[in-house]
Structure 1
Amino acid sequence: MTNPQDALNEAVARETGEGRFQAKVSTAGTEIIVDEPVDAGGLGSGPTPYQLLASALAACTTMTLRLYAERKGWPVRNIRTAVGHHREEGKSPADVFVRRVSFAGELDAEQRARLIEIADRCPVHRTLTGAARVETKVGEGLPPASPSTTHMVDMEALIHVGRGSYDFTER
């Protein structure tokens, strides 16, 4: 990798050799054990891939709301986002993420409603509901992720009116 930032944009999963499904994911200098529950044949030693995806949506929502509230100068405290995932077979799309957002602060009804709208515009939400593309390649020499796809860059674009696909209409 030629750019140190590239390593921050890539996640690498490797089997641990423990159980059928346990994997160690390395990203941004951190390692996470990922597994399946015991009743699905795993060891139950870590979150499932769907739980990580739900975690990404929860974290992105919380971070985006914080950034937006700060830029607006709104007195928002204790932002909390919980996300669950389930499948509804026979429906399209079958995957459903249920998100619950809570926050405190002296906000009027319009500001609260605006924060809920902003939650739907976090970069991970847009990725999950948009038309992302996954390219699968074989080999060790995989190209690194583009540094232009960092989450902070996307959040910054999201809160600036008129920038990119994350356009907000000011109210």
Structure 2
Amino acid sequence: MPTNQITAVTELDKSRYKTKVYAGGHFIYADEPEDLGGTDEGISPGALLLAGLGSCTAITMRMYADRKNIALDAIKIELAICKEEEMSKSTTITRKIELTGELDDAQRERLMQIADKCPIHKILSNPITILTS
């Protein structure tokens, strides 16, 4: 596989939904809550999706602020998505971004624009095709 391609491997044995996730030499667990039959020993798949968007957004904003010498001290991003049974072609993710630092209005506005430039935001904002073999 090309080195610039993002990859992940997931494995699930007979454990009740507790899934091993490997990516880039790192390891985490995904799972479902107990009320859905899981063991609640890992992050839910939906939360992993939101975490990917949130972390990518924060990293993109940090990179921009560092490159432009903007006094951005911290970024906090809260994300939410509707319940699975409410999802449709127009599913909405809400993202609340809080910026800490001595920023003027123009810097804050520009950083909020930069938030939409993160690669995961771009992926989720466009049609996605999943090829399964």
If the TM-score is normalised by the length of the shorter chain, which range does it land in? 0.7 to 0.9
Task: Deviation per CA, 1:124-170: give whole Å up to 9, x if none.
Answer: 01111112221111xxxxxxxxxxxxxxxxxxxxxxxxxxxxxxxxx
- Counterpart AA for 1:127: I
Counterpart among 110, 117, 123 of residue 127 in structure 1: 123
Does residue 53 (structure 1) correspond to residue 46 (structure 2)? The answer is: no
Counterpart among 35, 51, 65 of residue 39 in structure 1: 35
Does residue 76 (structure 1) correspond to residue 64 (structure 2)? The answer is: no
Moved over 2 A (4+): 87-92
Which residues in structure 2 correspond to 1:1-171 (within 5 Å)? 5=3, 9-19=6-16, 21-87=17-83, 89=86, 92-93=89-90, 95-137=91-133
The total of aligned residue pairs comes to: 132
The alignment's TM-score, normalised by the length of structure 1, stands at 0.70
- Counterpart AA for 1:10: T
Give 1:92 deviation, angstroms: 4.1
Structure 2: gaps (5+ residues): none
Distance (whole Å) between structure 2 residues aligned to residue 80 and residue 33 of structure 1? 23
Distance (whole Å) between structure 2 residues aligned to residue 118 and residue 16 of structure 1? 41
Identity of aligned residues (%): 35
The alignment's TM-score, normalised by the length of structure 2, stands at 0.88
- Counterpart AA for 1:11: A
Larger radius of gyration: 1
Does the 8 Å contact 1:82/1:101 carry over to 2?
yes
